[in-house]
Structure 1
Amino acid sequence: AADTGRATAAGAASVRYGAAARTTATRSTGAAPERCRTTGLRARVGRQDAGAGNRYAPLVLTNTSAKTCWVYGFVGLVLIDGHGDVLRTRTRRESVTPHRVTLRPGTSAHARLHWTVVPSGHETRCPASARLMIIPPDEVAHLEVPFSATVCDDGRIDATPMTPGASL
């Protein structure tokens, strides 16, 4: 089956990969755009760029619903290994002021992710992830996508707030 990066409803912190259920869409009743719901978003992680032990990649959320919606703020992240187990993940919000990003159907917003692949402190090696759970801003349901990465510094990933577009 193709990986769609679509929403699942299980709690991210206690989920083993493959145990989550699908959520149902919430319909908008107001004329003004509402916050984007996980069920109306698709996620992907773009191409990783490397330099001096650092990695960067855009995390892209695309509005797949039929209505305009908005995102504001930061995503939550959980690394998953190849066995479906949760890896230690520390998401650090970069000190950038977030702004509301309006997404028409089919348009995208992204956050820049940054992590190091150089062991630090007590680390002798760093765990490898296979997937990434993404909790959109102000949501509890998550999306899950392939994410083959080695994340050091106790699983620290720096993230910017969501900004318009699909690339860094």
Structure 2
Amino acid sequence: MAVTALTLSACQSGGKDSALHSSAAAAAVAPHGKAANAPSADRAPSAAQVPSAAQARTSAMTASDRCTADTLSVSLGRTDIGAGNIHIPLVFPNKGKTACSLRGFPGVSLTLKEGTPVGKPATRSGAAGDAVRLRPGQSAHAVLHTVNDGVSDTPCWSTAQLVRVYPPGSKEAMTAGTDGLRVCGGEFDVTSVKPGATD
């Protein structure tokens, strides 16, 4: 009986120790499990949250890629007259050493030689269109439009000597001779830029 009682006591004692050991182990594991699952202010962002170098450069590349007055020249192409309308290409060669892009409408106005404005700036005609990529030496163009004298009762403007042009997105103007361009009928508009020197 005494032996049996000692054995039983030892088993009960061992059971308590085992239970206490198990509880302590669980308590030791629990904080690690919680820390692994809980968000931490010190944790580094995942790869998906970090922008790549290409993404970071996107806006800067877009701005620097635009053709400007510094990298372009401008001239008027051959006048096309038909059905009472006058169309004149406004040609933009890329004179720079790197490729650049143009998209949208140029700002266009007419002046006398000393800079006095003639009439009003050209209005926009048609859609903005797609971007035109110009390698060095390549050209884009927009088309100026007016009508022949007599098509409308609206009087013609004075004959312009210069055309002042702001490339799309540029705040700097360029000028070119007009070879006697005269706007009539109060109609003077310009298309968006297109590839090539002419259509």
| Fold shared, TM-score > 0.5 on shorter chain | yes
Q: Which of 68, 91, 104 matches 1:37?
A: 68
Secondary structure of the 1:126 match is: coil
| Shift in CA distance, 30/83, structure 1 to aligned 2, threshold 3 Å | closer
What CA distance in whole angstroms lies between the structure 1 residues aligned with 2:91 and 2:193? 9
Q: Does 1:138 align with 2:138?
A: no
Q: Tell me the CA shift for residue 121 of structure 1.
A: 4.6
* 1:28-65 Cα shifts (integer Å, max 9, x gaps): x8599700111100101101111243211111101111
Distance 1:83 1:142 in 2: 15
The one-letter amino acid paired with 2:120 is T
With over 3 angstroms needed to count, the CA separation of the structure-2 counterparts of 1:50 and 1:105, relative to structure 1, is same
Q: Aligned pair in 2 of structure 1 residues 71, 52: CA closer, same or farther (>3 Å)?
A: same
Runs of 4+ in 1 over 6 A off after TM superposition: none
Counterpart in the other structure of 2:197: 166
Identical amino acids, percent of aligned pairs = 31
Alignment of 1:91-110 (within 5 A): 91-110=122-141
Q: Check whether the contact 1:77–1:89 (CA below 8 A) recurs between aligned residues.
A: no
Moved more, 94-103 or 35-44: 94-103
Taking CA–CA contacts closer than 8 Å with sequence separation of 6 or more, which of the two structures ends up with the larger relative contact order? 1
Deviation for aligned residue 1:74: 0.4
Distance in 2 (CA, whole Å) between partners of 1:31 and 1:153 is 39
Q: Unmatched 5+ residue regions in structure 2?
A: 1-59
Q: Which one has a larger percent strand, Structure 1 or Structure 2?
A: 1
Deviation (angstroms), 1:76:
0.6
Task: Check the 8 A contact 2:110/2:121 in 1, yes or no.
Answer: no
Distance 1:55 1:140 in 2: 28
Report the structure number with the largest CA radius of gyration: 2
Compared CA separation, residues 33 and 141, structure 1 to 2 (3 A): closer
Task: Give the CA deviation at 1:122.
Answer: 4.7
Q: In structure 1, how many angstroms separate the alpha carbons of the residues matched to 2:159 and 2:136?
A: 34
Gaps of 5+ in 1: 1-28
Q: Is the 8 A contact 1:80 1:130 kept in 2?
A: yes
1-side partners of 2:133 and 2:172: how far apart?
A: 20
Q: 1:90 to 1:33 in 2, by over 3 A?
A: closer
CA distance in 2, matches of 1:136, 1:30: 18
Match of 2:120 in 1: 89
Please name the residue that 1:54 is paired with.
85
Scaled by the length of structure 2, the TM-score of the pair is 0.63
Change (3 A) 1:115 1:32: closer
Residue deviations 1:116-151 (CA, integer Å, cap 9, x gap): 13254552x431111100110011111100002110
Match of residue 57 from structure 2: none
